[in-house]
Structure 1
């Protein structure tokens, strides 16, 4: 069966450069910054149901162009002499269908105009960050709510309608 979920394409280094905590981390450990970005996006994908694909620019790195899945998030390192923008444009074309919406997370203005022309919608780095923060809060609220439901006593009495409860009480007293 074909995957018809909405797709979020993320320009990975664009997000790392735009988000304060990832930008600061990247100065000392770029791999750790990438990993933290992927963890946040994996949580988002799991909670929202949107398929997430992250593209990292390997334009000046010969022989790359590999793709893999990490925490169910697809990760693409561009091919030699291919920019992340070119890869995103190619993926928008490949993934476009009437049954799904493509979102591209980038703050690159030129790229935003190109993807608009292909029918995709854009999220700036700031908008994606805000959406992830809201997602984290909603996820925390949901976990707390589920925990409270499990910790309350689960009795048959709480599942019965007032009429049935009254009928059982009458039988008990007779």
Structure 2
């Protein structure tokens, strides 16, 4: 079974306390942090993750790109993230794929539920993300304790390159 997580980007930013506070003065940074967290989610769960942002907050034409292994979509100018997510839930739905939609928009939840997708509230996604982050920290700590420190000191640039490889960004 293939699993796809469709994320209503600005809805999640507005619902997660740390991102909501950050967006007031550092909107692009809040967006980047959400994408980074979704990259961690993707790496941990193996889900295909697609984050959809409304175009009305980022003027211009429709755009699609990948950050890490996360697909990021900015809708067309007169298209909402809700509309794009509903369309994608229909288009991607098949017998071998389970669609999950992360949003706290109640109307959107019912619309996608009618398409056979499973809903995940912003709060549920946040709790799941916190659990994933704790699990990753435990694994890293265990590895550090079991393996001695490397005998060769690595520069900060090399460490950053390794982190990009780990996230699938190279």
TM-score, normalised to structure 2's length? 0.82
Q: Distance in 1 between matches of 2:104 and 2:13?
A: 11
1:20: which partner in 2? 17
Give the whole-Å Cα distance in 2 for the aligned partners of 1:150 and 1:53.
35
CA deviation profile, 1:60-95 (whole Å, cap 9, x unmatched):
765421100011100000012100000001111111
SS of match in other structure, 2:43: helix
Partners of 1:49 and 1:62 lie apart in 2 by 32
Mapped partners of 1:46, 1:62: distance in 2: 30
Return the match for 1:141 from 138, 141, 145.
Answer: 138
Matches of residues 16-55 of structure 1 in structure 2 within 5 Å?
16-55=13-52
Which residue of structure 1 lines up, in the alignment, with residue 77 of structure 2? 80
In 1, the alpha carbon distance for the partners of 2:68 and 2:42 equals 10
- 1:120-140 deviation digits (Å, cap 9, x = unpaired): 000101000000000001111
Aligned residue in 2 for 1:126: 123
The reply on whether 1:117 has 2:92 as its aligned counterpart is no
Cα distance in 2 for partners of 1:99, 1:145 equals 36
- Equivalent of residue 11 in structure 1, options 8, 12, 16: 8
Question: C-alpha separation between the residues in 1 aligned to 2:19 and 2:59?
Answer: 25
Three-state SS of the structure 2 residue aligned to 1:137 is helix
Does 2:92 match 1:92? no
Please list the CA deviations of residues 88-126 of structure 1 after superposition, one character each: whole Å capped at 9, or x if unmatched: 011111111111211000000110001010000001010
Is this contact kept in 2: 1:104–1:121, CA < 8 A? yes
Question: Normalising to structure 1: TM-score of the pair?
Answer: 0.81
Alignment length (residue pairs): 149
SS of corresponding position for 2:24: helix
**Structure 1 unpaired stretches of 5+:** 152-174
CA distance in 2, matches of 1:149, 1:97: 43
Asked whether the 8 Å contact 1:55–1:76 carries over to 2, the reply is yes
Structure 2 equivalent of residue 159 of structure 1? none
RMSD (Å), alpha carbons: 1.7
